[in-house]
């Protein structure tokens, strides 16, 4: 039983290929009907040629030509029809091959756009995506916020608990980032343990709300899913696009702010570590 609701039209390349396959199978059945019909006509024609007296009550029908000619015309008509249908099937086969090749190309392209580990966009998509959002922000005079996030002390997680645990942490962080943004926003794995989030039509106040939400959700996750003795936290650098500035400059500014926050966090943690050692 199909899960597809009745009356719901399927769309997309896969649906198109499925429709073409159904049509192709239908035409194959039609060809077999024509083949059977052609075989019957050929049998009747053979009987008419070799035994016209026993097959016909009279050797001439009430037409102006012999019955043998009629059968020849019928057989020729069937042969022509079969040739036409065969050519049509070959054309449809080529169309199906082209559709399947297109679908395969689209699937490969989609795979290159999504990071297999974290299920967010890959960095290869960033140049076109960011440039498009910059053009739209400047055209509509709307804000565009960039949020560069980096997992603090991620190397310690890999070294202490292994790369499989590191991959798990990255996947969880990516899921948290996606849960903190809108459907119109973009989360991109920039590299390693760095993620860049694009927030179109978002001013500094709105972007700061998102940044705080990310910190809170990561902190909540860390309390319930602590990776051994390695606390998981993020440093997040926020930057708003300035009209006329390049995409590369925007990313560099967001990255610089992220590293500034990371450095501030390390400096804040240093006195607490020193006091613990003295005790």
Catalytic sites, residue numbers:
193
Whether 180 contacts 188, CB under 8 Å: no
Kindly give the pairing relationship between strand 234-240 and strand 186-191.
unpaired
Dist. CA 207–CA 56, nearest whole Å: 93
The backbone torsions φ and ψ at residue 118, rounded to the nearest 5 degrees and listed phi first, read: -100, -10
Both tokens assigned to 78: 């069937």
How far apart, in whole angstroms, are the C-alpha atoms of residue 198 and residue 141? 16
Instruction: Count CB-CB contacts under 10 A for residue 219.
Output: 13
Instruction: Report DSSP state, residue 125.
Output: G
**Burial state string for 87-105 with b = 16 or more CB within 10 A and e = fewer than 16:** eebeeeeeebeebeeeeee
Provide CB contacts within 8 A for 258, sequence distance 6+.
148, 149, 150, 194, 235, 236, 237
Q: For 51-162, where are the alpha helices, taking DSSP H only?
A: 52-55, 67-113, 126-140, 154-161
Closest CA to 233 of 266, 192, 279: 266
């Amino acid at each position: 039983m199909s899960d597809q609701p009745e009356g719901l039209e399927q769309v997309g390349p896969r649906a198109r290929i499925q429709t073409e396959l159904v049509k192709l199978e239908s035409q194959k059945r039609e060809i077999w009907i024509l083949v059977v019909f052609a075989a019957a006509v050929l049998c009747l024609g053979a009987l008419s040629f070799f035994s016209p007296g026993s097959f016909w009550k009279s050797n001439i029908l009430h037409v102006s030509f012999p019955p043998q000619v009629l059968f020849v015309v019928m057989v020729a008509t069937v042969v022509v029809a079969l040739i036409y249908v065969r050519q049509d099937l070959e054309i449809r086969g080529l169309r199906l091959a082209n559709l399947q090749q297109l679908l395969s190309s689209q699937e490969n392209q989609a795979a290159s756009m999504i990071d297999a580990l974290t299920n967010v966009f890959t960095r290869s998509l960033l140049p076109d995506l960011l440039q498009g959002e910059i053009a739209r922000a400047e055209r509509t005079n709307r804000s565009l916020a960039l949020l560069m996030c980096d997992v603090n002390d991620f190397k310690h997680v890999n070294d202490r608990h292994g790369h499989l645990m590191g991959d798990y942490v990255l996947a969880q962080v990516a899921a948290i980032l996606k849960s903190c943004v809108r459907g119109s926003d973009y989360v991109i794995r920039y590299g390693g343990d760095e993620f860049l989030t694009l927030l179109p039509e978002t001013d500094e106040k709105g972007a700061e709300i998102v940044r705080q939400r990310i910190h809170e959700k990561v902190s909540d996750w860390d309390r319930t899913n602590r990776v051994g003795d390695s606390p998981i936290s993020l440093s997040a650098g926020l930057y708003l696009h300035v009209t006329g500035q390049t995409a590369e400059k925007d990313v560099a500014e967001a990255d610089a702010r992220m590293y500034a926050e990371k450095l501030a966090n390390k400096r804040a943690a240093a006195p607490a570590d020193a006091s613990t050692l003295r005790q």
